[in-house]
């Protein structure tokens, strides 16, 4: 079998067999297929798509490219996980992981890095000095057993095919593909061993799924793949037309996650986390209704009772918790630029895509696979769609370390923040 023949077959729109998919994935992971052929394969899938059976085969092959954790020896009960399809300002995992674990339901999570204009949980966590995302299987299980929460990356052992594809997709324009997103997410979830999974499927300009129809199709595919391997999957379709919360950028988002766990988070982010965490608790059988779960979570969150679980996790993964205890320790970008309202009115547009792309231009994301990220840069979104503002109200703060990058980011935002002189409705947090 030759990689080039598989690429040609997909390029020409034909369905690949399980053997062909397995050959390609396993050879790529072994280093026998170079990145340039993998990039061509990804582009062929991007343009030609895959049948559901191919997507399922791709997922299983990627999950089986490393070890598939069986957590039953580490944990006797149900292990839950959540995953977002990617958004702007989406720091939900950093918050709900500790929340759910502190309620007695173990969360073993394998996360990803920034992808395109979206941020990645691993990049955010790495803004905490010392934080280790690469854990051995033993360390992953041990931490899950001892403290009930772990957020790690694909190690050499777990879903390595996704780790390699993910980095390549980020820089080859092949992210927004339904089979590639579904297989990326579900391979990590299967390899991570969680029994039940809540998927936060983002819809809107700052998501890979721009409309409800494609979000529903992605959800259906991921539920189907979950069923194939005996994992229960629940999908929530949530808004990503504007950033979630205030902060966009790595250490800025960690700081916002800390504040939220201390009961002082922005309203939209807090509500979003309560809903996601409530679904996880119900799925795990901890509560019988979402209302009960949410009420319990809201009471504890308001009192800051979940914050110690985050510090415990960070400590276990060798991060310096003094940064969480004193947020002023995080490095601050050297340039701060404010954008203010030019007229009275209502915010009618705060385009999540433009904000996400501006964050990447500032250095919070990558243009090339090997690019480092700048943990201190990003944006603070002070006004949300539907909010009334007066002339001079603060809309956005950009945090940059280079003047040229700031100018590029400002150019990117031009026309993407709008004020209307007519009242505008708020955007919903969830659609379905």
Nearest to ligand URA of 204, 345 (CB atom): 204
Nearest to ligand URA of 280, 282 (CB atom): 280
86 binds ligand URA, rule: CB under 6 A: yes
Using CB under 6 A as the binding rule, the residues of this chain from 326 to 385 that contact ligand URA are none
Nearest to ligand URA of 59, 317 (CB atom): 59
176 binds ligand URA, rule: CB under 6 A: no
The window from 4-12, 123-131, 181-189, 365-373 that contacts ligand URA (CB under 6 A) reads 181-189
Nearest to ligand URA of 84, 157 (CB atom): 84
Instruction: Mark whether 184 is an active-site residue.
Output: yes
Nearest to ligand URA of 157, 393 (CB atom): 157
Using CB under 6 A as the binding rule, the residues of this chain from 107 to 126 that contact ligand URA are 112, 115
Residues 6+ apart with CB under 8 A from 371: none
Interatomic CA distance for residues 116 and 239, integer angstroms: 18
The edge-to-edge listing of strands for the beta sheet with 247-248 is 247-248, 378-381, 394-400, 335-340
Interatomic CA distance for residues 375 and 372, integer angstroms: 9
Instruction: Mark whether 83 is an active-site residue.
Output: yes
**First-to-last C-alpha distance (Å) of the chain:** 44
Instruction: Mark whether 90 is an active-site residue.
Output: no
Tokens of 426: 């708020």
Interatomic CA distance for residues 257 and 301, integer angstroms: 12
- Binding footprint of ligand URA, residue count (CB under 6 A): 9
Cα-to-chain-centroid distance, residue 314: 18
Nearest to ligand URA of 163, 265 (CB atom): 163
Q: Which residues pair with 82 in a beta bridge?
A: 198
Instruction: Mark whether 169 is an active-site residue.
Output: yes
Tokens of 46: 């991007």
Out of 82, 113, 188, 202, which one is annotated catalytic?
188
Closest separation in Å from C-beta 86 to ligand URA:
4
Q: How far is CA 322 from CA 36, 217, 376, 387, 426, in A?
A: 43, 43, 17, 35, 37
Interatomic CA distance for residues 430 and 148, integer angstroms: 28
> Which residue has the CB atom at the shortest distance from ligand URA?
184
Closest separation in Å from C-beta 179 to ligand URA:
10
To 5 degrees, how large is the angle CA 56–CA 62–CA 65?
140
Exposure string for 170-208, b = 16+ CB within 10 A, e = fewer: bbbebbbbbbbbbbbbbbbbbbbbbbbbbbbbbbbbbbb
181 binds ligand URA, rule: CB under 6 A: yes
DSSP 158: S
The single residue among 61, 85, 155, 205 that binds ligand URA, judged by CB under 6 A, is 85
Closest separation in Å from C-beta 162 to ligand URA:
7
Out of 83, 109, 124, 189, which one is annotated catalytic?
83
93 binds ligand URA, rule: CB under 6 A: no
One symbol per residue from 273 to 312: x for binding ligand URA (CB under 6 A), - otherwise; what is it?
Answer: ----------------------------------------
Q: How far is CA 275 from CA 200, 224, 339, in A?
A: 10, 23, 32
Interatomic CA distance for residues 283 and 281, integer angstroms: 5
Closest separation in Å from C-beta 95 to ligand URA:
17
Nearest to ligand URA of 187, 376 (CB atom): 187
One symbol per residue from 182 to 211: x for binding ligand URA (CB under 6 A), - otherwise; what is it?
Answer: --xx--x-----------------------
240 binds ligand URA, rule: CB under 6 A: no
Nearest to ligand URA of 115, 383 (CB atom): 115
Tokens of 333: 């970008």
Q: Which residues form the interface with ligand URA (CB under 6 A)?
A: 85-86, 112, 115, 180-181, 184-185, 188
Catalytically active residues are: 83, 162, 169, 184, 188
């Amino acid at each position: 079998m030759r990689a080039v023949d598989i690429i040609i077959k997909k390029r020409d729109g034909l369905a690949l067999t399980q053997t062909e998919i397995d050959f390609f994935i396993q050879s790529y992971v072994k280093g026998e297929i170079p990145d340039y052929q993998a990039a061509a394969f990804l582009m062929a899938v991007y343009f030609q798509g895959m049948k559901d059976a191919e997507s399922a085969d791709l997922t299983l092959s990627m999950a089986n490219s490393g070890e598939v954790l069986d957590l039953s020896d580490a944990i006797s009960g149900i292990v839950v996980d959540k995953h977002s399809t990617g958004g702007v300002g989406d720091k939900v995992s950093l918050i709900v992981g500790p929340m759910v674990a502190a309620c007695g339901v173990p969360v073993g999570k394998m996360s990803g890095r920034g992808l395109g204009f979206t941020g990645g949980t691993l990049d955010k966590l790495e803004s905490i000095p010392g934080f280790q995302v690469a854990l051995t299987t033993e360390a992953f299980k041990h931490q899950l057993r001892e403290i009930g929460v772990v957020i790690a990356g694909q190690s050499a052992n777990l879903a390595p095919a996704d780790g390699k594809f993910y980095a390549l997709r980020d820089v080859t324009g092949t992210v927004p593909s339904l089979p590639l997103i579904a297989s990326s997410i579900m391979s990590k979830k299967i390899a991570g061993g969680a029994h039940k999974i809540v998927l936060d499927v983002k819809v809107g300009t700052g998501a890979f799924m721009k409309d409800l129809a494609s979000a529903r199709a992605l959800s259906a595919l991921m539920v189907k793949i979950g069923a194939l391997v005996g994992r229960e999957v629940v999908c929530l379709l949530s808004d990503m037309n504007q950033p979630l919360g205030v902060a966009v950028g790595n250490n800025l988002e960690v700081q916002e996650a800390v504040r939220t766990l201390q009961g002082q988070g922005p309203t939209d982010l807090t509500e979003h986390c309560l809903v996601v965490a409530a679904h996880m608790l119900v799925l795990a059988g901890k509560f019988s209704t979402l209302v009960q779960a949410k009420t319990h979570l809201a009471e504890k969150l308001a009192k800051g009772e979940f914050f110690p679980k985050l510090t415990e996790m960070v400590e276990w993964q060798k991060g310096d918790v003094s940064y969480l205890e004193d947020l002023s320790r995080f490095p601050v970008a050297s340039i701060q630029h404010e954008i203010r309202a030019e007229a009275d009115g209502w915010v009618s547009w705060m385009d999540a895509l433009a904000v996400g792309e501006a964050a990447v231009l500032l250095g919070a994301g990558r243009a090339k696979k090997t690019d480092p990220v700048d943990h201190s840069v990003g944006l603070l979104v002070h006004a949300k769609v539907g909010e009334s503002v007066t002339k001079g109200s603060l809309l956005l703060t950009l945090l940059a370390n280079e003047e040229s990058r700031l100018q590029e980011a400002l150019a990117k935002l031009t026309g993407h923040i709008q004020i209307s002189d007519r009242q505008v409705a708020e955007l919903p947090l969830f659609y379905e």
